A and B are shown apart, each in its own frame.
Chain A
Amino acid sequence: MIRWIARVVGAAFVLAVLWAFGTTLATNLQSPPAPTAEHEFHRHPKEVAFASDGPFGKFDKQQVQRGFQVYKEVCSGCHSLTRVSFRDLHQLGYEEAEVKAIANQWQVEVPSVNPETGEPATRKAVPSDYFPSPYANETAARAANNNALPPDLSLMAKARHDGPAYIYSILTGYQNQPAELLKKFPAAKTPPSLHYNPYFGNLNIAMPPPLTSEGQVTYAPGNPKPTVDQMAKDVAAFLMWTAEPNLQGRHKTGFAVLAFLIVATILAYLSYQNIWAEAKRKVAPVGPLDPVNKAKRTRASKKAGIDE
């Protein structure tokens, strides 16, 4: 009975899904899905190496500091970094006094309350403050950016596939729309308020090219030349740090844990071998170790003239 019900139910689902399959085939054969500009011109992030990559990855503090400088002088005009506080900069090798100075001189002040009147006010940032946002709220941000919202950058390196490489690719990926694209998809022409960037999901990004010329940021002596490529790489490295500040500690702990577990595995394996070897001697009266079989085999061997 149950098997008959099963067959009926099974047949129903199989027929329903095969019907759907037939429909899918028919629809797509009759009118194949039209190719889209995104599908054909979107590019995966460029290959780019960072010091934080791989199991031995560490932050290149010099580079992350340069990236911070790029954020401070370029990105922070529009993008907030609300999950990072000034005191976190200690991790990048800044001294106490430097952090204080950075907080104190930050271009945006922190929202506060006037202690005399209770009126909303602003004050200078201190190291325990989080980076203040450039805009008071989303409405203000959109109003200033042609209705586009500059996203918070704290987690950007983890919130996109291939995070740091994606950021680097976006920053260096601005270009003129290929003639081929315009010929094939005239409707996909980048609107005047947007900018063509093949590394962006739908090819047209609202953000104008932020890094445009060499020397836009002045690096301290002893650092590489601030080319657009270098600045993009540096700020991507910085955003990897803001997204995963514990990366180095994680790798360090990971090696200790792995070492412990590998030793534990080896010891446990040896004790397993030990215990089971003992078992086979103790409880294996069947087969070659069975005294009866052993006697039979010895007799047979003797008869055949084989010396054991």
Chain B
Amino acid sequence: MSFAWAKPYEPKTELGRWFDDRMPLPRLVYNAVGGGYPVPRNLNYGWNFGVLSGIFLTIQIVTGIVLAMWYFASADGAFNSIEHIMRDVNGGWMMRYAHMNGASFFFIVVYIHIFRGLYYGSYKAPRELVWMLGLVIYLLMMATAFMGYVLPWGQMSYWGAQVITGFFSAFPVVGEPIRVWLLGGYAPDQAALTRFFSLHYLLPFVIAGVVILHIWSLHIPGSSNPTGVDVKSEKDTLPFHPFYTAKDGWFAAAFLTIYAAVLFFAPNYMGHPDNYIPANPLATPAHIVPEWYFWPFYAILRAFTSNFLGIDAKLWGVLAMFTSILLLFFLPWLDKSPVRSGAYRPLFKRFFWLLLLDVAILGYCGGSPAEPLYVALSQLATAYYFAHFLIILPLVSKYETPLPLPNSISESVLHGEKREAAPLGQTAAAN
């Protein structure tokens, strides 16, 4: 598909040829994730998280389908049906904990995947669409995760739904009617629960569809790589299979080991104890917090505590929270440095690590109660978040002098020929 030297598919058997003539599905797979897809040979382990995301999407869909066989989407019965799964259904506790922790691990791998893309400039031309489709997947994941968290109908489910749908009421005039329309009532209840279940079952398949587009658009220019230098010749690449299947294979097994360790030995570590209390519309929990993967955005939402320019503080918060994700769609045009990889961008690199720290601080504040110290800290961190993407990044790309790039991927891997041509024990410079 992508490079002239990509190996064409050759059916090995008579049956294979017969099949290929009629429906070239094996050819498609071969060109997508087989020997027919040349991949830069210098990928580091940051590039394993794409395949891992696919693995966790699969785990979520499989465990989710099994859970849906026992789950009962009713305001009276949802909590009981989950407890029935946990106690009486054979292996039910395993499916439930696998799904619960699978969501967290899905976000872990996707966050690493996104930050890898940010550091190595994977969003830059010609991969803008890959990046944007990835963000669409991320938004769909957030919607799916939120609705999934509502389904057990525990205290945090209920009050999380209350808070998050409450965002819409921040918009003047149209906000409240939209909120009521979305919930099918004035507060989360049966109508909201059933539609959340319906959408929670639908969206993963939409995600799977967008994943196909994401991979399709990736395979036109081919994968990016840690140097950010374009692939120039066959020497720069290796066929996906067996090289990257082997590398992804062992890494996935290692990562699943960590997942299993959490699933079997600390399954409730990433959850909130309040969700083991059945939903009670009359008792508000002391601290309403979303799941950990939403904490940075929750911190941004809560950081806007004062009205400004005649706009209500709550509306500022909601706008900022949506903007904090939507601005990523414009990243390919905000950062116009021709150098992709952060490894060759000394100034960008520093700001990148600052951003990572910033998001970690936002996450910490988002998970903490809204006490003055945390609020003040999250306000500074929010200011940096917006400044980083909308002000600093465009300026950095304008004023930064990047380091010299290697001529090719193979040169960067094999450290150049000049030095190798020197006598043993001496460097080229000494000659």
Contact = CB atoms under 8 A, between A and B. Distances in A.
A18 B425 CA distance: 59
A6 B376 contact: no
Nearest to A304: B423
Given A254-B264, A265-B254, A297-B423, A160 B273 contact: yes
Q: Interface residues of A toward B: which range?
A: 35 or more
Nearest to A284: B414
B265 A261 contact: no
Contact of B330 (A6, A24, A296): A6
B231 interface: no
A7 B250 contact: no
Contacts of A251: 264-265
B323 A13 contact: yes
Nearest to A57: B265
B310 to A, nearest CB: 11
Nearest to B425: A306
Interface string B242-268: 110011011001101100110111011
Contacts of A55: 265
A2 B423 contact: no
A51 interface: no
Nearest to A162: B273
A303 B421 CA distance: 13
Contact of A17 (B260, B303, B423): B303
B423 A10 contact: no
Contacts of A304: 423, 426
Interface stretch (B54-62, B66-74, B134-142, B379-387): B379-387
Contacts of A250: 93-94, 97, 264, 267
A145 interface: no
Interface in B61-101: 83, 86-87, 93-94, 97
Contacts of A198: none
A288 B414 contact: yes
Contact of A16 (B234, B254, B308): B308
Contacts of B242: 275
Most buried by A among B93, B267, B379, B380: B379
A308 B422 CA distance: 13
B334 A258 contact: no
A28 to B, nearest CB: 5
Interface string A8-31: 011111111111110111001000
Contact of A300 (B311, B379, B391, B422): B422
A287 interface: yes
A296 B246 contact: no
26 contacts: A3-B334, A6-B327, A9-B327, A13-B382, A16-B308, A18-B379, A20-B306, A20-B316, A24-B375, A24-B376, A28-B376, A83-B83, A155-B277, A159-B274, A159-B277, A251-B265, A254-B261, A265-B257, A279-B243, A286-B417, A287-B415, A287-B416, A287-B420, A290-B420, A296-B421, A306-B425
Given A6-B389, A18-B379, A300-B422, 12 more contacts: A7-B390, A10-B391, A17-B303, A17-B386, A24-B372, A159-B277, A255-B264, A264-B253, A287-B414, A287-B415, A288-B414, A297-B421
Interface of B: 41, 83, 86-87, 93-94, 97, 234-235, 238, 242-243, 246-247, 249-250, 253-254, 256-257, 260-261, 263-265, 267-268, 273-274, 276-277, 286, 303-306, 308-309, 311, 313, 316, 320, 323, 327, 330, 333-334, 336, 371-372, 375-376, 379-380, 382-383, 386-387, 389-391, 394, 410-411, 413-417, 420-426
